[in-house]
Every structure is written in C-alpha cells, then in structure tokens.
Amino acid sequence: MAAVKPYWKGYLKLSLVTCPVAMSPATGDEEKLRFHTMNRTTGNRVASRYVDNVTGKEVDPDDQVKGYERGEGDYIILEEEELDAVALESVRTIEIDMFTPRNSIEWIWLEKPHYLVPNDKVGEDAFAVIRDAMRAEKVVGISRLVLGQRERAVMLEPRGEGIVLWTLRYGDEVRPEEEYFSHINAKPEGGLAPLMKQLITAQTKKWAPITDPIQDRMLEMIAGKMKTLKSTGKRKIEPMAKDNVVDIMAALRDSLDREKRNMGGKAK
C-alpha cells in the first residue's frame, strides 16, 4: 500500500530546537465501499447543492460562509480569513508546551492518531533528538494544533523511528465512568472465576487485524450483480431465543468442553 500524501506540513518546536515535519493520518477508510445516491428511474447520479433556505436559489461556492446563530434567524457572519486568524501560532507550528508520563493519559482521552515524520533531511537530527529524549524519559509531549479550523490539544508519542501524534479530547467531552459503572454490584460465585479463567486461556491467541464481514458480503453481492446473476433472496435471520435465563456455571463448563474437543480435533 502506497504511503498517504501528507495533509499537513509545518514545524515541530521544543524551546530553541525546530524542525520541519509532515503529518499523515494513521488510519483511513479508503478501502471501504462507497455508494452514490442514484435516481432509480434514470440511472443517473443525484447531485447535492447548497440552496438559500428562503429564496430557494442555489448559492455559489464563493458566497458560502460560516455563520453563528445568536438568535432566531439572526446570524453573525464569519469570513474564512477571520477563522484562519484564530490561534494563528498553532496553525503551522507544533510547539511542545509540557511533558507528562505516558501512563498518566488514559485511553479515553485519545481521539485520532497521526504519523509525524521529518519533512527534510536537514531536520532529521533535531527530530530524532526530541523523539529519543522523550522515549528515554518515558514521557509524551503535549501541544496544540489547529486542524479543521479548530485548535486541538495533541499528544506526541515516540514510536519506532517516528512520532505518533494523537488528538486529545477536551475535559468536557469525556463522561465520568462512575456515572455508568457505580451501580454494578454483582459478586460471582467462587467457583465461577476458575472456570472463566480456563475458558479465557483456551480462547487466547495472538491478535490479528479483523476484516469487515459486512463489506465482504457486499462485495460478493456486487460481484454477483456484475455477473448478472439473479438474486437468491434475503439472508434469513434466525430469531433470538426467548429464554434468557442461563445457568452461567453450566454454560462455562459446556464452553470449556467444546474448546477441549476442538483442541483435540486440531491435534489430530
């Protein structure tokens, strides 16, 4: 797979040490199926347009601006230049403000990962010095960066020869887990834990990336249509069992027995 073209270029700065860097998203959905909205009658694609909700006329792209509603039907217009001027310092420079132990930032604060790399040979040494120093001290850097006209808090984490930049959620975006977990007071019977541990051990294996079964089925369906084969009908969905009362101990024992039989069959 070819490397993704960087969508952001700027500078990484720590005190007086500065180097040019480029950033690319670490995840993507380019391989996902894309569907267009079509006119069933004509077979043509349906185009979407921005229209004035009062006049009904189409609005030219040059006349489309951002607006903040301060009252019903009353908006403050914001031009692109005004939006770009906000937090200007963090538009093109990732200046590390502080360092913190990596294990002090829990998973829930991490939002989206990006790969950060040197953008020229001259800056590679400065980049490597910052990266290696963070790794040696087992810390991550905290900074700010404007992405999509919004200033984001970001975390810089050494990884391999590069740095992974994570956008971080703000404090008001995270809900306290106590609100959801504090009412759970179940205490399993003493004999359940050993059986559950055995089951977990039997089903533990090395993790590998998981494929999307829905996309695989869609691709099969599309391939079938391309071959002009007739549809075989909708896949039958089995109804859920009505009896939800389960003997956990019996279920665990049955699961373990099944795992042992499967392991025995594989050994043969």
Across 90-106, average pLDDT: 90
The pLDDT of residue 3: 61
Higher pLDDT, 129 or 32: 129
Q: How far is Cα 139 from Cα 125, in angstroms, rounded to an integer?
A: 19
The pLDDT of residue 9: 92
Higher pLDDT, 234 or 144: 144
Across 208-228, average pLDDT: 72
Does the structure show a pLDDT above 60 at 15?
yes
Across 55-77, average pLDDT: 88
In sequence order, the 6+-apart residues with CB closer than 8 A to the CB of 164 are: 26, 113, 114, 115, 116, 156, 157, 158
The pLDDT of residue 168: 95
Question: If you average pLDDT over every residue of the chain, what do you get?
Answer: 82
The pLDDT of residue 209: 77
Across 72-84, average pLDDT: 80
Q: How far is Cα 8 from Cα 22, in angstroms, rounded to an integer?
A: 6
Handedness of CA 213, 214, 216, 217 (dihedral sign): positive
Does the structure show a pLDDT above 60 at 167?
yes
Higher pLDDT, 266 or 131: 131
Across 255-259, average pLDDT: 72
Q: What are the backbone dihedrals phi and psi of residue 86, each rounded to the nearest 5 degrees, phi first?
A: -70, 135
